[in-house]
Chain A
Amino acid sequence: MSTVVDFQKVVAVAGGFPVLAGLDIEITKGEIVHLRGSNGVGKTSFLRACAGLLQIQNGDATVLGFDLRDDRIAPRRYIGLLGHENHLYKDLWVREHLEFRAAAVGADQHDVEAALQRIGVSERLWAVPIERLSAGQRRRVAIASVLVGRPQLWLLDEPHAALDREGREVLDEILIDAASSGATVVLASHERDLSKSVTSRVVTLRGGRLWEDSGAA
């Protein structure tokens, strides 16, 4: 099993505060890792550090074989990131937005419709401005934006937020399919039930460090 994320004694600072304080974690290909922990323990910071959006101050950090201390931009083309925010252009129609996102990550335009259908965005909404969608529908479009890029590493921050029961189930299926086809998924979530149904490993952070690991690789 190849290592996708390898953090050794990683320290990262945001706003003068050490958000990652010597984090050690190794994640291998095909895992679905559920990140848990109270607010402010470093879950989002860990995801952003993996995506190269948060600079590593100390320690060794490798993602998809790229040393983040040397180059934190190169691995991004293989990563799909969904943060607390949806990264949506609210004035664009659903389909226009997704076509733009597909082009921006070098994905196939033919995958746009498939991604929207997979996540359950009804066809009647494809030509509707995103600002008119409900919070749950927007979250689905945001997930479709990640899905269309076929990332090797999925970094998801509270992906189930605003989704209804059906949406959650569809997302879980998508994550399982992605992992079974060789992608790796790291998702931060407060949902306790999630671990049993979807994730292969539960990691708990505390104070910017690894606190508990249900099954280290």
Chain B
Amino acid sequence: MLHEVLLIALKDLRVEWRSKVTLGQVAPMGLLVLVVFAFAFDANTRLLELGAGGLFWVAVLFGGTLLIQRAFEVETDDGNFDAFRMSTIRAPSLFLGKSLGIFIQVVLLELVLGPGIVLLYNVRIDDWLLLLAAALGGTLAFSVCGVLWGVMAAGTRVRATLLPLLLVPILAPVLLAGSRAFETAFGVRAEAGWTWASLMFVIAAVHAAVGMGTFGFLLEES
């Protein structure tokens, strides 16, 4: 199974490496979102500092949604979904492979956005371990949710607009938990940051289990 998961993930990463969409378009777009927020809240730098965690996850949501759309666009384009269905790769491996590919791309996006919020929003990091754990949990949750809902939207003609409509409400708890955990890591909120970070791992685990169990059916019906 691991071989199949890696096969799918490496294929997706290779497609992205060749097309340069992640680093060439999505990451600059995410940075632009941060810059726009910086302009919008310019009069109140304290507000930016307080909201940096939330703004980071909003930028991840915007950029990540584009990455998920792109990940399924390469499959719907030229009938590749049929080739997937005809392959011997098992559906749970497809789900995990697509999720791993998205996870790595979102991590790359976050590596660009992270320094962005430090520089633009004057953020100071108090708890690196919590920050990394929250980033890991949030990215995992985002990836598995994105792939699970991405395949549902992929079979429709209105997938470009449907995916954000499905994803944003589903990812709202991740957005909230990520924001709270980051705010605690930044030292601007004295709350149980680890509880919020743990919640994201729980969301990721639940969606991963549902995804592995239902991806085959969803792939057939999409």
Which of A73, A81, A85, A104 is the one whose CB lies under 8 Å from B78? A85
- Tell whether, in the assembled complex, residue A89 and residue B87 are in contact, meaning their CB atoms are under 8 Å apart: no
Asked if A106 contacts B85 (CB within 8 A), the reply is no
- Beyond A76-B86, A104-B89, whether A90 also contacts B7 by CB under 8 A is no
Instruction: Give the chain A neighbours of B85 by CB distance below 8 A.
Output: 53, 73, 76
A103 within 8 A of B: yes
Given that A76-B85, A92-B14 are known contacts, is A100 also in contact with B7, CB under 8 Å in the complex? Answer: yes
**Chain A 76-99 per-residue mask, 1 if CB under 8 angstroms from chain B, else 0:** 110111011111111111001000
**Which residues of B sit under 8 angstroms from A77, Cβ to Cβ?**
88
Which residue on chain B has the smallest CB distance to residue A72?
Answer: B220
A144 to B99, CA, bound (A): 29
| B15 engages A91 (CB within 8 Å) | yes
Residue A105 CB within 8 A of the other chain: yes
A79, closest chain B residue (CB): B86
Q: Are B82 and A83 in contact (CB under 8 A)?
A: yes
A101 and B83: CB pair below 8 A?
yes
The reply to whether A103 and B77 form a contact with Cβ atoms under 8 Å apart is no
Query: How close is B67's CB to chain A, nearest CB, in angstroms?
Result: 15
Inter-chain contacts of A59 with B (CB < 8 A):
none
Task: Compute how far the CA of A84 lies from the CA of B19 in the bound complex, rounded to whole angstroms.
Answer: 25
B77 A90 Cβ-Cβ under 8 A: yes
State whether the Cβ of B195 lies closer than 8 Å to any Cβ in chain A.
no
Say yes or no: B74 contacts A89, CB within 8 Å: yes
Q: What is the CB-to-nearest-CB distance from B13 to chain A, in angstroms, rounded to a whole number?
A: 11
A129 proximal to B (CB < 8 A):
yes
| A103→B86 contact, CB < 8 A | no
- Taking the complex as formed, is B157 at the interface, i.e. its CB lies under 8 A from any CB of chain A? no
Tell me the minimal C-beta distance from B22 to chain A in angstroms. 12
- A156 contacts the other chain (Cβ, under 8 Å)? no
Report the separation of the CA atoms of residues A86 and B83 in the bound assembly, to the nearest whole angstrom.
9
A145 to B216, CA, bound (A): 23
> Which residues of chain A from 9 to 55 have a CB within 8 Å of any chain B CB?
51, 53
Instruction: Identify which of B11, B74, B84, B216 gathers the most chain A CB atoms within 10 Å of its CB.
Output: B11
Q: Are A91 and B19 in contact (CB under 8 A)?
A: yes
* Interchain CB contact under 8 A, A96 and B87: no
Contacts of B86 in A (CB 8 A): 51, 53, 76, 79-81, 105
Q: Is the CB of A103 within 8 A of B7?
A: yes
A81 contact set on B, CB distance < 8 A:
82-83, 86
Complex alpha-carbon distance, A83 and B11, angstroms:
22
Contact call A104/B15, Cβ cutoff below 8 A = no
**CB-defined contacts of A87 to chain B, threshold 8 Å:** 78-80, 82-83
A95 to B: closest C-beta gap in Å: 12
Name which of A53, A93, A100, A106 has the most chain B CB atoms within 10 A of its CB. A100
Chain B min CB distance to A188 (Å) = 15
Q: Are B79 and A86 in contact (CB under 8 A)?
A: yes
Distance A96 CA – B74 CA, assembled complex (angstroms): 15
Who on chain A is nearest to B15 by CB?
A: A91
Q: Mark B1-35, 1 if CB is under 8 A from A, else 0.
A: 00000010001001100110000000000000000
Residue of B nearest to A86 (CB): B78
A151 to chain B, nearest CB (A): 9
Question: Considering only CB atoms, which chain B residue lies closest to A84 in the complex?
Answer: B79
A129-182 with Cβ < 8 A to chain B: 129, 145
Chain A 55-75 near chain B by CB (<8 Å), digits 1 or 0: 000000000000000000100
Nearest CB on A from B66, distance (A): 16
Which B residues touch A83, using CB under 8 A? 79, 82
Q: List 8 A-B contacts (CB under 8 A).
A: A73-B216, A80-B86, A83-B82, A85-B82, A89-B78, A91-B15, A91-B18, A100-B7
Chain A residues engaging chain B, CB cutoff 8 angstroms: 51, 53, 73, 76-77, 79-81, 83-93, 96, 100-101, 103-106, 129, 145
Kindly list 7 other residue pairs between chains A and B, CB separation below 8 angstroms, not including A81-B83, A104-B7, A104-B89: A53-B86, A89-B80, A91-B18, A91-B74, A92-B15, A96-B14, A104-B87
